């Protein structure tokens, strides 16, 4: 799935954004700008080089399967960009139409990568590292600020206000497509976990996924044993990893997952 997602995302770069001087968010946008200034340096190579120090820091502070998946996805994604630039014919027609398809393809590709519990590196790693240092920071806001900085960089390099406006359209469409593919109409889930190993499950969920939870003392109606009820709100994409962590730490845990119509607070809206 992440190989397919990387291929689709790279198509959005080679066919639409790079040929039309339209940046996408994150290091992909920075790589596009660098390629514009230094045409001999391929976009994918530039992106991978910029990710190397981030992976070194992430290996020190984050670790885990997430980092391995992200490293693989980033390597494949950047390779697809450089290989695709040789074979893919760029679209040079209506620029607004190109923006729309660029946003749809990039959003679809990223969503497929996210579904596997990985990312394409770049701003996602920066956001997670900053949040590791200060848990109060919102990952979404960090990424938004970085994307805003990349858009300003494109204006400084291209010198065209239209490029900035098109970039905003691409980022907006891409984010909406990601939400639609990943979450559908239900953006969040509510997980009830009844377990005797609450501390282990809590540590795993917070350490690997970064989600908080509420713990309540409960008593099993059948067993009459004292247990803990963990109440955790999470994004739909995170549910599979949460279930995996529950199974690893307490195979006998009783878990109920419900749709959450609306969730407000830190980490959500």
Q: Answer whether residue 135 shows pLDDT above 80.
A: no
- Quote the CA–CA distance of 18 and 31 in Å, as a whole number: 9
Q: Answer whether residue 261 shows pLDDT above 70.
A: no
Which pLDDT band holds residue 192 (cuts at 50, 70, 90)? Answer: very high
For the chain, give every domain's residue range: 2-183, 188-260
- Quote the CA–CA distance of 125 and 146 in Å, as a whole number: 12
Token couple for 214: 């509420």
**What is the mean pLDDT of the segment spanning 162-178?**
86
Which pLDDT band holds residue 187 (cuts at 50, 70, 90)? Answer: low
- What letter does residue 11 receive in the DSSP assignment? H
Between the two ends of the chain, the Cα-to-Cα distance in Å is 29
CATH topology of domain 188-260: Alpha-Beta Plaits (3.30.70)
Q: Which residues of 66-93 are buried (b: 16+ CB within 10 A; e: fewer)?
A: bbebbbebbbbbbebbbebbeebeebee
Residue 74 and residue 121 in contact, taking contact as beta carbons nearer than 8 Å: yes
Nearest to 230 by CA among 258, 193, 202: 193
Higher pLDDT, 46 or 61: 46
Q: What is the pLDDT of residues 6-54, one digit of tens each?
A: 889 999 988 998 888 888 888 888 888 888 888 888 988 998 998 888 8
CA distances from residue 25 to 145, 150, 234 in whole angstroms, order as listed: 10, 6, 25
Model pLDDT, residue 240: 82
CA distances from residue 42 to 45, 85, 170, 177 in whole angstroms, order as listed: 5, 9, 22, 27
Q: What is the pLDDT of residues 35-47, one digit of tens each?
A: 888 888 898 899 8
Token couple for 119: 């990312």
């Amino acid at each position: 799935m992440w190989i397919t997602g990387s291929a689709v995302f790279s198509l959005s770069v080679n066919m639409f954004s790079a040929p039309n001087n339209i940046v996408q968010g994150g290091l992909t946008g920075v790589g596009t700008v660098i390629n514009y200034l230094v045409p001999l340096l391929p976009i994918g190579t530039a992106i991978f080089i910029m990710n190397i120090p981030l992976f070194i820091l992430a290996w020190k502070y984050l670790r885990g399967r997430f980092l391995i998946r992200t490293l693989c996805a980033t390597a494949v994604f950047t390779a697809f960009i450089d290989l695709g630039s040789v074979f893919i014919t760029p679209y040079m027609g209506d620029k607004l139409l190109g923006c729309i398809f660029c946003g749809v393809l990039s959003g679809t590709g990223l969503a497929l990568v996210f579904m596997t519990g990985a990312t394409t590196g770049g701003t996602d790693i920066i956001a997670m590292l900053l949040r590791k240092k200060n848990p109060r920071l919102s990952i979404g806001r960090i990424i938004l600020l970085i994307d805003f900085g990349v858009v300003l960089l494109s204006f400084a390099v291209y010198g065209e206000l239209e490029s900035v406006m098109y970039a905003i359209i691409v980022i907006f469409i891409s984010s909406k497509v990601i939400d639609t593919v990943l979450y559908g109409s239900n953006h969040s889930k509510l997980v009830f976990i009844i377990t005797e190993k609450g501390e282990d499950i809590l540590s795993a969920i917070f350490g690997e996924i970064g989600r908080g939870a509420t713990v309540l003392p409960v008593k099993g109606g059948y067993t009459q044993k004292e247990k803990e009820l963990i109440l955790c709100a999470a994004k739909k994409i995170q549910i599979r990893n949460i279930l995996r962590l529950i199974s690893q730490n307490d195979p006998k845990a009783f878990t109920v997952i419900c749709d959450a119509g609306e969730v407000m607070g830190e980490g959500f809206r």
